[in-house]
Amino acid sequence: EAQVTQNPRYLITVTGKKLTVTCSQNMNHEYMSWYRQDPGLGLRQIYYSMNVEVTDKGDVPEGYKVSRKEKRNFPLILESPSPNQTSLYFCASSLYRNSGNTIYFGEGSWLTVV
């Protein structure tokens, strides 16, 4: 079954404690990206990757890091989380840039920073 898997799904953490949200896809997709969803703001892109070792900033990259060492994995790293990073996070993947209908989303990760 085609899947984008995020972990953890729910997390409460404290300010400043480094955390990583993992994202893995089993479809051999080149493109992967991270979004955060906040009330009244829709989904905003944090980072995206067009292939292994190729990453670029989206609209709201501050406070986040990513890496793409393997094609299937695209972890989101919060080096020093702050309360304004409390949000719902989505990972997504796509086969190639022109296939607008094959964007697969993970189920979301609820992150609370206190």
Report the interface residues with another protein, using CB under 8 A: 31, 33, 35, 40-45, 48, 50, 58-59, 88, 90, 92, 94, 97-98, 100-101, 103, 105, 107-108
Report the nearest approach of another protein to the CB of residue 18 (Å).
Answer: 25
Which residue matches tokens 């992150």? 111
Q: What angle do CA 23, 46, 69 make, to 5 degrees?
A: 45
Report the nearest approach of another protein to the CB of residue 80 (Å).
Answer: 26
Nearest CB to another protein, comparing residues 27 and 88 = 88
Give yes or no for a contact between 40 and 90, defined as CB atoms under 8 angstroms apart: no
Sign of CA dihedral 83, 44, 89, 42: positive
Report the nearest approach of another protein to the CB of residue 13 (Å).
Answer: 20
